Structure 1
């Protein structure tokens, strides 16, 4: 009986750990805290932005869906719009372990500058700890965190899940909508949407 009980307990513990590994951020609950290093080599953490709205954007310069929003200036424009509203914007570049971290950071930083992007910080999520904590699946994958640290939006950048830049003009930008609703003190018109883009690379 004892062996059976121990085995059952170990199995239950393993299942709990597996569930935790697959867990992701949930709208309406506290956003997972994180700390890391940005593309300029400076430390950055979610906690340092406490008391402000924070947008998280998963980004990959090689992804056609990301290029859709950067080549025409859409994403940089939304970043600047958010900044004008006092909203912090953190881009997150998730990549597998290995390779030259400095080179990865430099390449992302140079690309963002070339596109006229204006994130508050760009976190280099080497190994994917931040991405896994949030359940980030695509680039782009967008999140909005309120000043209390609660996640209030998760999903797509907009309503047209294509890589065609021409679709931007007729799409509803869910992030702008979420920012505007939140700042106006209104319930978000869309709190959860289905993200689209290239798969986040964890390994």
Structure 2
């Protein structure tokens, strides 16, 4: 009988000991640690580069709910936003329901963006895919005073690169953080249902360099699949480029 009473007591003591140990240990909060590491990664140097790779192949499921999640997730409704453009007028994502929408995170002074628009695929891609059924938007989440920020500067680059689409300013970074935009460029595709169906790298060639594989334009591949009614083979790839120049929260 003494043994049967002792075992529950020892088990309770063990649980209390573990809880006390956990309270002061970072290792007991892997989710929080991962979130902190992700936030730290967004503050890397201006040319922080990660190679674009496929991570989530396959079709995108229909959204499980009618409400957008707090943070963007492939297969769920894209988080809504309203932003003011560099030219002055505002635009809401909700107004574009029924169209395919490309979101390109943008910083005109980032070397990766400069290459993409002057010599790479973004030199003419928006024009090639632009139609009554597809809207291309650039979003600049640089905080005031940081690299690539400011309406006048963005208007100047839009003229220099002959951009016909809007550049939207997200100076407080709220939209960028909700979409977990990490780099410029970092691209997203929202389909006609308002569902996020692609996010990630523009292609697998940062500044035109491909390592150990044939060239793939992930964004063009995704848009082609939408146009033909086929599943997007690679719906979630790792972006590369300059870190988004967020301000402090």
Smaller-chain TM-score bracket: 0.7 to 0.9
SS of residue matched to 1:196: coil
CA distance in 2, matches of 1:118, 1:74: 15
* Contact 2:139/2:168 (<8 A) preserved: yes
Q: Which residue is 1:177 aligned to? A: 221
**Alignment of 1:196 onto 2:203:** no
* Contact 2:202/2:219 (<8 A) preserved: yes
- Find the partner of 2:189 among 141, 144, 166: 144
Q: How does 1:118-133 map to 2 (within 5 A)?
A: 118-119=164-165, 121-133=166-178
**Alignment of 1:64 onto 2:108:** no
Q: Which residue is 1:7 aligned to? A: none
Note the aligned Cα RMSD (angstroms).
Answer: 2.3
Q: How does 1:28-39 map to 2 (within 5 A)?
A: 28-39=75-86
Q: Which residue is 2:159 aligned to? A: 113
TM-score when normalising by structure 2: 0.66
In structure 2, relative to structure 1, the CA distance for the partners of 1:138 and 1:99 (3 Å cut) is closer
CA distance in 1, matches of 2:133, 2:163: 16
SS of residue matched to 1:126: coil
Count of residue pairs the alignment pairs up: 177
Q: Which runs of 5+ in 2 are unaligned?
A: 1-30, 40-69
* Contact 1:76/1:118 (<8 A) preserved: no
In structure 2, relative to structure 1, the CA distance for the partners of 1:49 and 1:85 (3 Å cut) is closer
The farther-off stretch of 105-114 and 69-78 is 69-78
Q: How far did 1:73 drift?
A: 5.6
CA distance in 2, matches of 1:131, 1:172: 25
Q: How does 1:73-92 map to 2 (within 5 A)?
A: 74-84=121-131, 86-92=133-139
SS of residue matched to 1:88: strand
* Contact 2:202/2:217 (<8 A) preserved: yes
- Find the partner of 1:104 among 135, 150, 159: 150
Write out per-residue CA displacement over residues 131-158 of structure 1, whole angstroms, 9 at most, x where no aligned residue: 0110000000000000110000000000
CA distance in 1, matches of 2:116, 2:145: 27
In structure 2, relative to structure 1, the CA distance for the partners of 1:90 and 1:25 (3 Å cut) is same
In structure 2, relative to structure 1, the CA distance for the partners of 1:107 and 1:196 (3 Å cut) is same
Radius of gyration: which is bigger?
A: 2
SS of residue matched to 2:246: coil
CA distance in 1, matches of 2:105, 2:160: 18
Q: How far did 1:193 drift?
A: 0.5
